[in-house]
Amino acid sequence: MGFGQGLSGLNAASQTLDVIGNNIANSGTVGFKSGSATFADVYASSRVGLGTQVASINQRFTIGTVSGTGNQFDMAIDGAKGLFRVVDESGGVLYTRNGQFFPDKDGYLINAQGHRLTGYAEGGTNLVPVRVPSGNIAPSATTAVTSKLTVDANAPLAGGQVLEVQGSVVLSDGTNPPVTYQYTGTWSNPDWGGTPPPDGSYTTGSGGIPVMFTGGNGTPDANNPATLPEGGGNIPYVAPVAAASFNPAVANSFTHSLPINVYDSLGNSHQLIQYFAKRPAVGGESKWDVYYRLDGKELPAPYNDGGAGLPTLTFDDGGRLRSPAAPVKITVPDIGGANSPAETLSFTMDYANSTQYGGDFTYSFGQNGYPTGEYASMSIAADGTIVANYTNGETQNMGSLVLADFPNLQGLQPVGGNAWVETSASGQPILGKPGSNSLARVKGQSVEESNVDMSQELVNMIIAQRTYQANAQTIKTQDQVLQTLINLR
């Protein structure tokens, strides 16, 4: 036995304690990867080994606990594979698992060491420093409006109950023209229970006979009510009047109204109101005329490329929409006026999948325009997409993070500051977006804590201490043997 073996053991135990101490010291360092020392024996030509030596200091690239922070610029790699790619002030490339970033004075995301986070530019594969957006998002003019409706099949006709006489009124001159009556009183025929008959053809409740006005003197008037030829009962005479025309100021001239905001090319908001007026059915199909008002003004015709006027929604007897078959095209010139000139507003109005059922009027609508908005915050999606959020509720993709992986992570060289650099032993980096190419995904507003297992490190410390003591005993024993030899003289 020689002193060399004991000294090498003391050195190995000391280095083990150094590694353990470094792990414990960095147990609170975000993204830190704990290390461990590996050793190898030393032999020469003799049969007895010459002790031990430190073969390498390996780092464990296992994932640490991911904890939420609420900081919009923090991010954690939610898996074992992947490293953030950063660049220093001189352009040198480094890699780190520490996802604590914040914007510098120029808006670039940097870490505590001043290294800039890099990613892919929007729509490309060029690697650029990630920068916090600034300024306003440009407005977008409305180009499409959708209105999915369910209109009430039982709603009264717009403008009042209208009676279309299916027979004829016998006038004194012998002519037989059809007449439309505006009903405003109370129906007196007991077969109808005091309520108007259904829209469309007007028949008696008992015999189903079309109404025929047959006044005794050939002309019904207030003193001579028209009578039904079958089914009994009288109908009070009312003078024939024209159906009430649409007027947005008159509530009973339309059945439903639906307001929605649209936007011009400058982001100015304009209120578009749709008015739906139920009309008499024709040929078993229900008719609903649609009127438009923009900022209280009637829209100029035509409403589509074919020069057609106001659209009419037509529903079959199953409540399915039959027309219009295509979206209505609406064009509004001089939308902003002299004070705020904007491009001509042109958009389509789509009523696809609308229905008519016996229930309340319901709707869902939307449009694709929006006003300008100020930058509010930034978020990182799981796939690394960098999303800017604006005060108008819109979002905009600003690019994507890039992660790196290496064929041999142990070949990376630690350079401090929780960073590594590429070496010939590590191989070239394999770059990609989070979640692609077997890379881990990213979790925003979170950080990855150190993967140091404190209990394991304390146990390792006890073992290293015992190893140190044992090697010290071999030196002490060798000393006692030498002392015995000296005392033989």
In the structure, what pLDDT confidence band is assigned to residue 1 with cuts at 50, 70 and 90?
low
What value does the mean pLDDT take over residues 168-189? 35
Residue 237: name the closest of 185, 162, 198, 172 by CA. Answer: 185
Q: Find tokens 């010139």 and name the residue.
A: 333
**Predicted local confidence at residue 147, as pLDDT:** 93
Instruction: Say whether pLDDT at 199 is over 60.
Output: no
Sign of torsion, CA 399 400 406 411? positive
Model confidence pLDDT, tens digit, residues 106-126: 989 999 999 999 999 888 888
Half-sphere exposure of 140 (CA within 13 A, CB side): 13
Is the pLDDT reported for residue 77 higher than 80? yes
Q: Of 336, 326, 328, 278, whose CA–CA distance to 302 is shortest? A: 328
Three-class secondary structure assignment of 366-435: EECCECCEEEEEEEECCCCEEEEEECCCCEEEEEEECEEECCCHHHCEEEECCEEECCCCCCCCEEECCC
Cβ-based neighbours of 145, under 8 Å, separated by 6 or more:
260, 262, 272, 347, 348, 349, 350, 365, 366, 367
Give the C-alpha separation, 159 to 179, whole Å.
17
CB distance 416 to 91 below 8 Å? no
Instruction: Specify the pLDDT at position 447.
Output: 93
Instruction: Determine the pLDDT at residue 197.
Output: 41
How many angstroms separate the CA atoms of 158 and 244, rounded?
A: 8
- The pLDDT value given to residue 275: 92
395-440: pLDDT as tens digits: 888 889 999 999 999 999 999 888 999 999 999 999 999 999 889 9
Q: How confident is the model at residue 94 (pLDDT cuts 50, 70, 90)?
A: very high
Phi-psi region of 170 (alpha: psi -120 to 50; beta: other; left: phi over 0): beta
pLDDT at residue number 308 = 58
- Determine which of 26-40, 90-104, 237-251, 309-323 has the lowest per-residue pLDDT on average: 237-251
Taking each helix axis as running N to C, give the angle between helix 454-487 and helix 3-25, from 0 to 180 degrees, rounded to the nearest 10: 160
For 23-65, how does the pLDDT look when each residue is reduced to its tens digit (9 = 90+)? 999 988 898 989 888 888 887 776 777 888 888 888 888 889 8
Mean per-residue pLDDT of the chain: 79
**Residue range 232-290, pLDDT digits in tens:** 344 444 444 445 678 888 888 889 999 999 999 999 999 999 999 988 888 888 999 99
Q: Which residues pair with 214 in a beta bridge?
A: none
Q: Which residue has the higher pLDDT, 206 or 299?
A: 299
Instruction: Report whether pLDDT(337) > 90.
Output: no
Question: What is the percent of the chain where pLDDT is above 90?
Answer: 35
Determine the pLDDT at residue 50: 80
Question: Is residue 386 within 8 Å of 121, Cβ to Cβ?
Answer: no
What pLDDT is recorded for position 371? 92
What domains can be seen in the chain, in order of their start residue? 3-59+451-487 (no CATH), 66-137+375-448 (no CATH), 144-155+244-367 (2.60.98.20), 162-239 (no CATH)
Q: What is the mean pLDDT of residues 12-29?
A: 90
Write down the pLDDT at residue 161.
47
Q: What is the pLDDT of residues 120-157, one digit of tens each?
A: 988 888 899 999 888 888 899 999 999 999 999 988 88
pLDDT at 214: 33
Answer yes or no: are the C-beta atoms of 15 and 37 closer than 8 Å: yes
Q: Does the bond joining 371 to the residue before it have cis omega, within 30 degrees of 0?
A: no
20-29, 159-168, 404-413, 467-476, range with the lowest pLDDT: 159-168
Residue 476 in this model has a pLDDT that exceeds 90: no
- Average pLDDT, stretch 461-466? 90
Banded pLDDT at 83 (limits 50, 70, 90) = very high
Nearest one of 393, 389, 387, 371 to 140, comparing CA atoms: 371
For residue 344 the two structure tokens come to 């001509």
DSSP per residue, 286-314: EEEEEEEEETTEEPPSP-STT---S-EEE
Specify the higher pLDDT residue, 252 or 222.
252
| DSSP SS3 for 15 | helix
Which pLDDT band, with edges at 50, 70 and 90, does 332 fall under? Answer: confident
Q: What is the mean pLDDT of residues 8-30?
A: 89
